[in-house]
Amino acid sequence: MADSDPTALLRLVQWLSPAFPTGAFAYSHGLELAVSVGEVRDEASFAEWLHDILSYGAGWNDAVLMGRGLRGDTDLEGLADLARALAPSAERLRETEEQGAAFARARSEVERIALPVEPLPVSVARAARELQIANEEKIAVFLHSFASNLVSAGVRFIPLGQSAGQRVLARHHVLIAQLAQRAAEAGLDELASAVFRADLQSMQHEQLDVRIFKT
């Protein structure tokens, strides 16, 4: 067995940190519309919304896509096409493609390598394949980054206090770890989404006259 790389986790955390220029701060994943119509209005309703997105929406599906992408025998080109097909709206497609492109571009500039443009979970999986970290840990860091970006959007737009946002994030740590463990072993037949209202709101968001977030 090859010696472990003590910098592997640090590389992954750098790629998925708010400082890495993917522009994640500009996307609310439909939260802006949910707040605008009064569905999400406080800490409790935001926590419920985030739980559902992670468990039954893009959180779970992106985790499964990343889990498959981390396996060396997976065709990443085909997986990228599947990721695009799973997007329930034009905005969601733009969200995953633009962040994936920004991730690949930033990594290319940092590491001086050429990388293809792919949806975000596939692009991160391609990067993380080489890291000597358990796949469930890679997925957990990815999901935590996703949830953190949504918490940041919630703090700014609901608005929530910083402490309330951090309470919501901390409350989801166990769920994130459980989803990551399941997704690391999941097959593509376990892809599923059941956040219909959030999907419809992502479509309605395109029609808002004034928008702070891209999605």
Number of domains in the chain: 1
Model pTM? Answer: 0.95
Report the run of H or E that residue 124 belongs to, with start and end: helix 120-128
Quote the CA–CA distance of 36 and 158 in Å, as a whole number.
9
Name which of 1-5, 137-141, 161-165 the model is least confident about.
1-5
Q: How many helices (H) and strands (E) does the chain have?
A: 11, 0
Return the HEC string of 22-72. Answer: CCHHHCCCCHHHHHHCCCCCCHHHHHHHHHHHHHHCHHHHHHHHHHHHCCC
Q: What's the domain range around 74?
A: 29-205
At 64-114, the pLDDT tens digits run 999 999 998 999 999 999 999 999 999 999 999 999 999 999 999 998 988
Q: What is the CATH number of the domain that holds 45?
A: 1.10.4190.10
Return d(Cα 67, Cα 132) in angstroms, integer: 15
Residue 178 counted as domain residue: yes
Q: What per-residue confidence (pLDDT) applies to 1?
A: 40
Taking only the tens place, the pLDDT of each residue in 30-45 is: 999 999 999 999 999 9
**Residue 214, pLDDT score:** 84
Any domain includes 3 = no
What sign for the dihedral angle of Cα 157, 99, 67, 58?
positive
Residue 123 lies in a domain: yes
